[in-house]
Structure 1
Amino acid sequence: MGADEVLAAAQLIVRARQERTPLAALPPHLQPQDEAAGYEIQHEVHWLLAEHAGDFAGYKIGCTSKVMQDYLRIPHPCAGGVFARGVHQSGAALRAADFVRVGVECEIAVRLAQDLLPLDAPFTIERVADAIGDCHPAIEIVDDRYVQWETLGAPTLVADDFFAAGCVLGPAVGRDAVADLAAIQGRALINDVLAGQGTGADVLGHPLHALAWLANHLASRGDGLEAGQLVLTGSLVKTIWLEPGDRVRMELDGLGTVEARFE
């Protein structure tokens, strides 16, 4: 795709997000034909969203568990952006009407204390583990902002940040205080009813594999992760779609609890 087509596709995506209008298939000449083109459009989307969404805060990684890969019919991870105005603290009361169709996922989030820059690639799980400062129990907020996501294809979903709509973070826990991210048991409760459960090992075998994948993916594009950025490593459970008034609580053993309401 040429630069003009990338920009035009990004403008259509951003307009749909800002107006909360379900995104239909892009015009044929603006549709990314592969995920590399999708990420080119995503990069432009991030520039266009900056004024509306606040500073770039980090990344979410999607399709990191078998349950999510089966659900989305995409057999590999995908990345999207997270912006400052979409990051909330536990106990947040959010408006369901601010989303097209809001959903939540149970996640282990990490905040980096060190840069992971392209010149240092390739990255191993040991290297990315050393870069983590804090961990958080997290609710990833996702938005089905599509006319029919099943027919859009992975490249267009990637271009639109792969359902990303923000997150709610529980209290920070120092990386050294968390024995093993893979062993963490997570539970998603909606209105105090168990709606899903899983473990850190469900995320590509270990959340650190997801973080290493992201660092290497960005490095392949000449980008990197910076100290202070947040990474949502992937859902332990299948996406849960909400109704107005729902109360959400994610419990991650050894990491903590995070809660939110969608009014």
Structure 2
Amino acid sequence: MNSTKQQLAQALFEQHAARTPFSTLRRAGEVLDAAAAYDVQDELVALLRKARNADIVGYKIGLTSTAMQTMCGIDKPVFGRVLSDQVHAGGLRIDLNRYVHLGLEFEIAVKLGSDIVPDGKPLSTADIAACTEAICPALELVDDRHAQYSTLDAGSLIADNAWNAGVVLADWQPLPDEFTVRQARVFSQHPPAETGEVDYRHVLASVAWLAQELASRGLHLRAGEIVMTGSVVRTRFPVEGEVWHYEVDGLGTNGVNCA
């Protein structure tokens, strides 16, 4: 790799500041494996934290579908950091002009009540449930900056903090005792709604995967942190004037207003 990881992170930081379209590092001649890409993400997040006086408050998980993993040439999900200045309450009014190309992803957020340190051991759903303080329907804001998905690679996505541009959280609720599958609905003011399924076992398994990934980099999940566990339905790209609603049976509602 010709450029240093710090130089790549600085270039990404400047692209965000200039609101330039997303360009893969592979296209620019830089092919990053996952380990190197996470090193670049570390550097980029450090620059963002300093510029915005923000803290890391959690993580997002992306590329959770087999189709997206195949397209990006990777066999597992990826993660990015969530920063404190981009955590919003449900009902957020969004100014689309603040983003290059905003997408909405409809997910379940997990709030941790205690640290999760794998210590080299597999983590069960019961282990994660014991460390979970609360969950809620949540929207992730992703800014893909008009990326060309046909040429997207995992290293470029990882390095760019997996496109996280914030999260919108509903009221926190206790994790149900029964891990039954719940129905979710996503709709705007124009029908029909799209339905999906929320399986709490999959939600907890996503947190377990993240805990193991962080452990491989000498990190761990901490009490109070938020984990965005992946999309329940397809990503939506809102236009001005739309209002989007997200409901999960037994868990509550969330939404954003793009008026």
Give TM-score scaled by structure 1 length.
Answer: 0.88
* Residues in 1 aligned to 2:71 and 2:196: alpha-carbon distance in whole angstroms: 15
- Alignment gaps of 5+ in structure 1: none
* Residues in 2 aligned to 1:190 and 1:163: alpha-carbon distance in whole angstroms: 23
* Residues in 2 aligned to 1:256 and 1:68: alpha-carbon distance in whole angstroms: 28
* Residues in 2 aligned to 1:244 and 1:214: alpha-carbon distance in whole angstroms: 34
Residue 183 (str. 1) matches residue 181 (str. 2):
yes
* Residues in 2 aligned to 1:28 and 1:70: alpha-carbon distance in whole angstroms: 18
Q: Which residue identity lines up with residue 112 of structure 1 in the other structure?
A: L
Partner of 1:223: 219
Partner of 2:236: 240
Cα distance, 1:77–1:109 mapped onto 2, change above 3 Å: same
The count of corresponding residues between Structure 1 and Structure 2 is: 258
Question: Post-superposition shift, 1:74?
Answer: 5.1
Pairwise CA RMSD of aligned residues? Answer: 2.5
* Residues in 2 aligned to 1:73 and 1:97: alpha-carbon distance in whole angstroms: 32
Partner of 1:115: 115
Question: Post-superposition shift, 1:32?
Answer: 4.1
Q: Which moved more, 1:73-82 or 1:233-242?
A: 73-82
Answer yes or no: is the 8 Å Cα contact 1:42–1:161 preserved in 2. Answer: yes
Residue 23 (str. 1) matches residue 22 (str. 2):
yes
Q: Which moved more, 1:118-127 or 1:89-98?
A: 118-127
Residues 55-78 of structure 1 deviation map (CA, whole Å, 9 limit, x = unaligned)? 111001112235655776754211
* Residues in 2 aligned to 1:32 and 1:191: alpha-carbon distance in whole angstroms: 43
Residues 111-150 of structure 1 deviation map (CA, whole Å, 9 limit, x = unaligned)? 0000013536442222111111010111111111254243
Question: Post-superposition shift, 1:90?
Answer: 0.8
Residue 34 (str. 1) matches residue 33 (str. 2):
yes
Residue 48 (str. 1) matches residue 47 (str. 2):
yes
Question: Post-superposition shift, 1:51?
Answer: 2.8
Identity of aligned residues (%): 36
Cα distance, 1:211–1:27 mapped onto 2, change above 3 Å: closer
Partner of 1:100: 100
* Residues in 1 aligned to 2:66 and 2:185: alpha-carbon distance in whole angstroms: 17
* Residues in 2 aligned to 1:150 and 1:161: alpha-carbon distance in whole angstroms: 19
Question: Post-superposition shift, 1:86?
Answer: 1.2
Cα distance, 1:174–1:104 mapped onto 2, change above 3 Å: same
Give TM-score scaled by structure 2 length.
Answer: 0.90
Structure 1 segments of 4+ aligned residues over 4 angstroms from their partners: 27-30, 66-75
Question: Going by fraction, where is helix more abundant, 1 or 2?
Answer: 1
* Residues in 2 aligned to 1:93 and 1:225: alpha-carbon distance in whole angstroms: 30
Q: Which residue identity lines up with residue 189 of structure 1 in the other structure?
A: F
Question: Post-superposition shift, 1:214?
Answer: 0.3
* Residues in 2 aligned to 1:223 and 1:29: alpha-carbon distance in whole angstroms: 30
Answer yes or no: is the 8 Å Cα contact 1:94–1:262 preserved in 2. Answer: yes
